[in-house]
């Protein structure tokens, strides 16, 4: 297993990681922080809509659906299998 930094929208369904940083600014950053996407928070990708966007994530006991445009602004430290 190796640690990899990826945007949240690329986290595979069923996998989890920890928030490393947000690359959003202004009101978008404030909204993501208010939803619980703070440094070190554990996030799990739960399921994808039939069209592929949005994706539902488990964050601090809540299920939150984010579009790819928003979730790409959240950089995650994910544990991905090598190979």
- Interval 35-78: pLDDT, tens: 999 999 999 999 999 888 999 999 999 999 999 999 999 999 98
Sign, Cα dihedral of 65, 69, 70, 76: positive
d(CA 9, CA 31): 17
- Interval 11-42: pLDDT, tens: 999 999 999 999 999 999 999 999 999 999 99
CATH H superfamily, domain 2-80: Ferrous iron transport protein A (FeoA) (2.30.30.90)
Pick from 35, 37, 42: which is nearest to 16 by CA?
42
How is residue 54 annotated by DSSP?
S
pTM across the whole model = 0.88
């Amino acid at each position: 297993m190796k640690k990899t930094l990826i945007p949240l929208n690329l986290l595979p369904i069923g996998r989890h990681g920890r928030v490393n940083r947000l690359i959003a600014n202004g009101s978008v950053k404030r909204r993501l922080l208010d939803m619980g996407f703070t440094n070190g928070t554990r996030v799990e990708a739960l399921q994808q809509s039939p069209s592929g966007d949005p994706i539902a994530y488990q964050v601090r006991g809540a299920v939150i659906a984010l579009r790819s445009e928003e979730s790409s602004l959240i950089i995650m430290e994910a544990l991905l299998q090598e190979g």
